[in-house]
Structure 1
Amino acid sequence: MQTSAELKNLLQRIDHKGYPAYKDTRGSYEFPGYVLSIDHVQGDPFAAPSKVSIHVRGKQAGFPEHLYQKDCRRTAVQDYLLRQFARQVEKVSFKAKGSGKSGLMAVSCPGQEVLERSACQMDAKNGDIVLRMEIGFPANGRTVNSRELEKIFFDFLPECVKGSLYFRSLRKEAVEAAADLAEDQAYIREQLDPRGLCAFVADGAILPRESGVSGRPMKDAVRFQSPESLSVTLTLPHHGKLTGMGIKKGITLIVGGGYHGKSTLLKALETGVYNHIAGDGREYVITDDTAMKIRAEDGRSIRDVDISMFIHDLPNGKDTVSFYTEDASGSTSQAANVIEAMEAGTRAFLIDEDTSATNFMIRDELMQRVVNRDAEPIVPFIDRVEELYHTYGISTVLVAGSSGSYFHKADCIIQMNRYEPFEITESAKQAAAEFPLPKQDIAQSKQPDFDRKIKPDRMFQEDNRLKMKTMGRDSISINREVIDVRYVEQLMDTEQLAALGYMLKYMQIHFFDGKHTLTQAVDALWDVLQKKGIAAVCESSYLPCGLAMPRKQEVFACVNRYRRLGL
């Protein structure tokens, strides 16, 4: 390791040389209170910025052990530090001048969710902190401008580190509050199963968002208030008593008029699989962390999925036990999404009528009279929803605005009226009794076959160079092969997509060998991640700064949408 003085001398020596001279700066340098590591140097001022990491020893950072020894608390503290550092960096980015990306200083900017990220990591044993970022090394044309880089390394960056990565520089109450909130959120999630719940929505929560493209809470929105009949009180480790609506396991129907808050409640439950920052309004909206949003997805590819629970005896004789298509319909895509979610270990389905295939969800009595069941290959979801719960233990929370048939199946019915929830189970059941469902003899389905063994894709051989990039939250491109994940609605951050790309590559090399099933491959990946962290799947000389952990369910979803999947 070299000293900061040696770095300064090196910068002075290479000033005005050709841009490749910056490559000599790679290495680690001791600064007062931290170590600066230049991990990767861009080859051109117009290329992707250089990768830099800051290492602060635990004793110098000074964070008390109770803030980082427990996983949930440590993740929250990491998130808090990253947000503080991002605010500092925003003030000085591009203050150093030059061509191309000269002077850029960038770090991950989290949204409302608290995710495990590669950008800021804290060691659970000693509190050591590593913060990763990107810096555009300044140039005049394609000539080194090291005087400007000297400003970044010796003026701007030390102030950013000083103001955000030392416990003594931060508001101690705010750091403690972030960790305490995460522990309270973890406690609620742990309490769901023993209390027979699949979700909890606290009284006072703000569910509407500022806009369709903003995650921030809407100003002056109606605060959530649980119906008394569904009210649950929890005593949290730090917050104390908290009352809210408990959504019980089983079949829950959410109804109401248009624009009264049905889909808003469901959306809050979708994102409730993650923790949220203080002030988000949904801090205490907590959902079973395996819950999956299920929807129709016309045009997606399906590989060797057993959809026979819902679709069988197709007129073209196509096999539905090992179903394959490059261009799924609404019903076949939604059937596959249900089965794939089961394979991924989900314990709760979240479904909105608006984004579902009608013929997959329901067949009314008139249609059944006109088109005989023997001529219909689809067993609609309504005929399987009870079986999914009683046989497989999978709950369903369904938003419905036009079909009342699910009243007969629901264990609990919630009506949203001007964003206020009311339990109407008894009255809705009474009304439904006047419109009985036609009697049907639906045979119990066979358990889906999940024995899909994945073969390796030659594109992922270890000696092949892969070009991976993400396109917003819509897709991942791997050597121009696009994985469309725009309808995997619980992916909240582009950095989760970037991590999924690395995970897919790692599984292709290590676990997709024609012997592991998909479930075994994902479980093996998860074991690696739990033991070694996300760095293990990158297999490079440095850990990229822009990665965020997805859930295991999104790993399954990504693999299932990969059109080159080898089966």
Structure 2
Amino acid sequence: MKSAEDLRQFLRSVDRKGYPAYKGAKGVYQFPDFTLSIEHVQGDPFASPSRVSIRVDGKKACFPAESYHLSHKRVALQDLLLRKFAAKVERYNFKARGSGKSGLIAVSRCGQEILERTACVADPEDGGILIRMEVGFPANGRTINSGELIKILFEFLPECVTGTCFYKTYPAAEKEKVKKVSELAEDQEEARRLLSAMGLTAFVANGSILPRESGVSDRPMAKAVPFTSPSSMEVVMKLPHAGAIKGMGIPRGVTLIVGGGYHGKSTLLSALESGVYNHIAGDGREYVVTEASAVKLRAEDGRSVKNVDISLFIKNLPDRRDTKRFCTEDASGSTSQAAGVVEAMESGAKTFLVDEDTSATNFMILDELMQMVVHREQEPITPFVERVRALYDEQGISTILVAGSSGAYFHVADRVIQMDCYVP
């Protein structure tokens, strides 16, 4: 391993040379408080940025062991550190000048979900922190400007690392935030465990904010109607830190969500769909929890299907194609949705989430008048409404389905939730 001073001298030696000379910087360098690895050097300033990582030893990071010793807490800590580091590097993004992507400093952008990402990894053994990022090595045209890269590597990044990866530098408020993140992760993990113990497929806490800011933003909508469970479905979850939380528990089985247009049916289903992930504090869906194997099903016209047995729903096609080993490069709405159901079953899904608006109509229902025109022996599709009951009774697969235009599913549902102005 080379020293930080070796890197500085090398960069000074290649200043004003052709851009390929940067390739010699690839390697691992020991800085006073962290290790810097230059893993890939871009070919020119307009190409994809160089890949750089920083590792801080656990003895220097000094995060409390209880914040990373369990998987769910470790993922929450990683998520917090990545967001914190991203906010700091954003202040220095493109502050070093040059052509093309010169001066870019970027890490993965985090959404509202708490996910395990390779951009930030905490060692479960000693709490060491690894952060991976992209850096645009500066140049004027295709001539190296190493003075600007020295500024990035020796001024900007050390300040970002110090403010993110060393627990001892955190003020009291930031240390408390680390604690709160760990506690929230513990509560969310317990809520998922309780789903199974209570015979539920999903839980939505009272007070949750389900509507999102816009179609392109996943942040909570301002002044949205807080969720309130109907009394008939209200349950209590006792969590380690949040205490007793009341909300709507959706039991296993077939659940129908109905209501007028724009009354919150799809919003509720969308929240349940994202409920397979934990969410950050302030998202509004921190305690919206769906069992982990839940899958959102929809029609996917034009998708490829390879050797999927869709005969449960479709058989006796006019061209006599084999639906037990169905293959196509351009699936229709009904065949794509049938394939999606079977693939979800094969993957072990125990809950299906379905929205009428994004489903193939002929896959979902076949009304009486249409059956009088098209006799059943001529119809290759067995609609989902005729299978949904058996999927639960025989396979233990629950379904939560949004319907706004057809009452065909009322007869097979265990319960019906009506949304009225975002209130169930």
1:226-261 CA distance string (max 9 Å, x none): 111111111111211111100110000000000000
Distance in 2 (alpha carbons) for counterparts of 1:360 and 1:26: 56
CA-CA distance at 1:283 after TM superposition: 0.8
Residue 405 of structure 1: SS of its match in structure 2? coil
TM-score normalised by length of structure 2: 0.98
Aligned to 1:256: 259
1:320-358 CA distance string (max 9 Å, x none): 111111211111111111001101110000000111111
Aligned to 2:240: 237
Distance in 2 (alpha carbons) for counterparts of 1:323 and 1:109: 39
Aligned to 2:71: 71
Aligned to 1:27: 27
> Which residue identity does 1:162 align to in structure 2?
T
> Which residue identity does 1:43 align to in structure 2?
G
Asked whether 1:388 is paired with 2:388, we answer no
Residue 339 of structure 1: SS of its match in structure 2? helix
Q: Which moved more, 1:223-232 or 1:180-189?
A: 180-189
Distance in 1 (alpha carbons) for counterparts of 2:328 and 2:134: 42
Aligned to 2:321: 318
CA-CA distance at 1:370 after TM superposition: 2.8
Aligned to 1:274: 277
Distance in 2 (alpha carbons) for counterparts of 1:162 and 1:385: 55
Distance in 1 (alpha carbons) for counterparts of 2:252 and 2:14: 66
Q: Of residues 328, 331, 335 in structure 1, which corresponds to 2:334?
A: 331
Aligned to 2:93: 93
Distance in 2 (alpha carbons) for counterparts of 1:39 and 1:259: 50
Distance in 1 (alpha carbons) for counterparts of 2:316 and 2:7: 72
> Which residue identity does 2:28 align to in structure 1?
S
Aligned to 2:47: 47
Aligned to 1:104: 104
Aligned to 2:133: 133
1:189-221 CA distance string (max 9 Å, x none): 111112111100010000000001100000000
CA-CA distance at 1:178 after TM superposition: 1.2
Aligned to 2:182: 179
CA-CA distance at 1:169 after TM superposition: 2.8
Asked whether 1:408 is paired with 2:411, we answer yes
Aligned to 1:436: none
Aligned to 2:295: 292
CA-CA distance at 1:9 after TM superposition: 1.5
Distance in 2 (alpha carbons) for counterparts of 1:60 and 1:227: 51
- Count matched residues: 421
> Which residue identity does 2:254 align to in structure 1?
I
Q: Which moved more, 1:274-283 or 1:168-177?
A: 168-177
Aligned to 1:197: 200
What is the aligned-residue RMSD (CA, Å)? 0.9
Runs of 4+ in 1 over 4 A off after TM superposition: none
Q: Which moved more, 1:173-182 or 1:274-283?
A: 173-182
> Which residue identity does 1:303 align to in structure 2?
K
Aligned to 2:211: 208
> Which residue identity does 1:130 align to in structure 2?
L
Aligned to 1:304: 307
- Segments of structure 1 that go 5 or more residues without pairing to the other structure are 422-567
Distance in 2 (alpha carbons) for counterparts of 1:373 and 1:277: 50
CA-CA distance at 1:10 after TM superposition: 1.5
CA-CA distance at 1:15 after TM superposition: 1.2
CA-CA distance at 1:286 after TM superposition: 0.6
Distance in 2 (alpha carbons) for counterparts of 1:403 and 1:296: 18
Distance in 2 (alpha carbons) for counterparts of 1:57 and 1:407: 59
Aligned to 1:527: none
> Which residue identity does 1:144 align to in structure 2?
I
CA-CA distance at 1:22 after TM superposition: 1.1
Distance in 2 (alpha carbons) for counterparts of 1:9 and 1:377: 73
Q: Of residues 335, 348, 353 in structure 1, which corresponds to 2:351?
A: 348
Aligned to 1:220: 223
1:260-286 CA distance string (max 9 Å, x none): 000000000111111111111011111
> Which residue identity does 1:148 align to in structure 2?
E
> Which residue identity does 2:292 align to in structure 1?
D
Distance in 1 (alpha carbons) for counterparts of 2:126 and 2:255: 45
Residue 402 of structure 1: SS of its match in structure 2? coil
Written as runs of structure 1 = structure 2, the 5 A alignment for 1:508-519 is: none
Residue 6 of structure 2: SS of its match in structure 1? helix
TM-score normalised by length of structure 1: 0.73
Aligned to 1:533: none
Q: Of residues 416, 419, 422 in structure 1, which corresponds to 2:422?
A: 419
Asked whether 1:151 is paired with 2:151, we answer yes
Distance in 1 (alpha carbons) for counterparts of 2:328 and 2:152: 53
Distance in 1 (alpha carbons) for counterparts of 2:104 and 2:69: 34
> Which residue identity does 1:399 align to in structure 2?
V
CA-CA distance at 1:315 after TM superposition: 2.2
Q: Which moved more, 1:124-133 or 1:22-31?
A: 22-31
1:66-94 CA distance string (max 9 Å, x none): 00010000000000000000000000011
Aligned to 1:367: 370
Residue 92 of structure 1: SS of its match in structure 2? coil
> Which residue identity does 1:12 align to in structure 2?
R
Distance in 2 (alpha carbons) for counterparts of 1:206 and 1:273: 16
CA-CA distance at 1:316 after TM superposition: 2.0
> Which residue identity does 1:60 align to in structure 2?
K
- Segments of structure 2 that go 5 or more residues without pairing to the other structure are none
> Which residue identity does 2:371 align to in structure 1?
Q
Q: Which moved more, 1:26-35 or 1:120-129?
A: 26-35
CA-CA distance at 1:6 after TM superposition: 1.8
Q: Which moved more, 1:350-359 or 1:163-172?
A: 163-172
1:94-119 CA distance string (max 9 Å, x none): 11111111111111110111111110
Distance in 2 (alpha carbons) for counterparts of 1:264 and 1:108: 27
Distance in 1 (alpha carbons) for counterparts of 2:37 and 2:320: 61
Aligned to 1:16: 16
Distance in 1 (alpha carbons) for counterparts of 2:10 and 2:330: 57
Residue 283 of structure 1: SS of its match in structure 2? coil
Aligned to 2:7: 7
Residue 390 of structure 2: SS of its match in structure 1? helix
Distance in 1 (alpha carbons) for counterparts of 2:157 and 2:369: 70
Distance in 2 (alpha carbons) for counterparts of 1:239 and 1:95: 43
CA-CA distance at 1:371 after TM superposition: 2.2
Aligned to 1:517: none
